[in-house]
Amino acid sequence: MRPTKTPYSSNPAICLAFLIALLLSSGISTGQQAPFYPVSYRIFNPFIFNPAVAGSKDFTTADLNAGKHGDLNSQIVSFNGRLSKPGVSYFSSEGIPEFTNIGVGGIVFNEMNDISRIVGIAATGAYHLKLDRNALSYISIGASLKALFNNYQGDEDLNRPAKSTFFPNVDLGLYYYSPIIYAGISATNILGKPAEPDTLGYSTIPVSRQYYLNVGTKIVIHKSYNLVVEPSLYVIADDSLSQEPLEMIKPAIRLYAGKFCIGTYLNNLDNVSFLFQFKYPKFHIGAYFEMQRKSPFYRTPPIAEIAFGMNLAAIKSGVSRLNHW
């Protein structure tokens, strides 16, 4: 279990060295993935694209992300946390739980548009290795086993019949985290998708191998007011190398002020985005909005997404902090 030592006291030199090593070892490209929407799960629930993140937070959480963009509707239900060790309670006191090195998680997602619907389910496991005596720095490795179901409605104009496809897949991830810095690399949909012989090269299954790099740091601005800035960077890659580098790099920044968080995630450099979260003692809510800079609101519908989560277990340090994220 984690001690009650004040956060942001880890060794920054070791963290920075590890971060540089990750940056130098990563490639760049992008493409489709499953799930693709909601966009905001990359910010609110990163363990969905990197299974090694499961169990890295100081609490067990269950989350719902839902979004709508024009005719597209999508939802993700997920949970993740660290397994606790069996303990003995004395009288009415539950005591402070101790935790194992095993993180677990689960995902169910649904994405539906005017031509197809994809439904997926995944089970996640991660192993967390402590790197210092104070139990503040960890490195973890994780994997997700997935089952995907794609229902293509067909296209009469192109003489393509409707069909349904069910297939398995695997995600893998590596993650380093401490109170002041984190970095992860992961690969999703490693098995790819079933072969679809089509002379026109048209695919009805919106799934491909996807590679992620995610790095970030937390900077304390004012301890008394609990002000923390968290700049981060996402690089999303696939096998096609089909986009320009600037389209593949997605920066984000968040400002935490006690229970409240605001920020932006530049998923698309041509769009303006805004996000916020508010944390209650047992649950948290959030929202994400994205709209085009140069298009009127009525011509291009904005992306509007919501996030809702519940904290299901005590934090690992055994000390409740209202401003803990």
Burial 6-23 (b: 16+ CB within 10 A, else e): ebeebeeeebeebbeebe
Q: Is the pLDDT of residue 225 over 80?
A: yes
Query: What is the extent of the structural domain holding 128?
Result: 12-311
Would you state the pLDDT for residue 30? Answer: 34
Residue 71 lies in a domain: yes
- What does the pLDDT look like over 105-122, one tens digit per residue? 999 999 887 788 889 999
- What does the pLDDT look like over 157-185, one tens digit per residue? 777 788 888 999 999 999 999 989 999 99
Radius of gyration of the CA atoms of the chain, in A: 20
Question: Across the strands, what pairs with 127?
Answer: 102, 141
Q: Give the Cα-Cα-Cα angle 27, 30, 16 (nearest 5 degrees).
A: 40
Q: Total structural domains in the chain?
A: 1
Q: How confident is the model at residue 153 (pLDDT cuts 50, 70, 90)?
A: confident
Average pLDDT over residues 4-19: 40
Would you state the pLDDT for residue 87? Answer: 61
Residue 187 lies in a domain: yes
Check which CATH number belongs to the domain holding 209 and give it. 2.40.160.40
Q: How confident is the model at residue 278 (pLDDT cuts 50, 70, 90)?
A: very high
Whole-angstrom CA distances from 247 to 19, 87, 236, 241, 275 are 22, 50, 9, 11, 20
- What does the pLDDT look like over 36-69, one tens digit per residue? 778 899 999 999 999 999 999 877 899 999 998 7
Q: Is the pLDDT of residue 318 over 50?
A: no
Residue 161 lies in a domain: yes
Residue 321 lies in a domain: no
Residue 142 CB neighbour total at 10 angstroms: 28
Q: How confident is the model at residue 200 (pLDDT cuts 50, 70, 90)?
A: low
Q: Is the pLDDT of residue 26 over 80?
A: no
Residue 1 lies in a domain: no
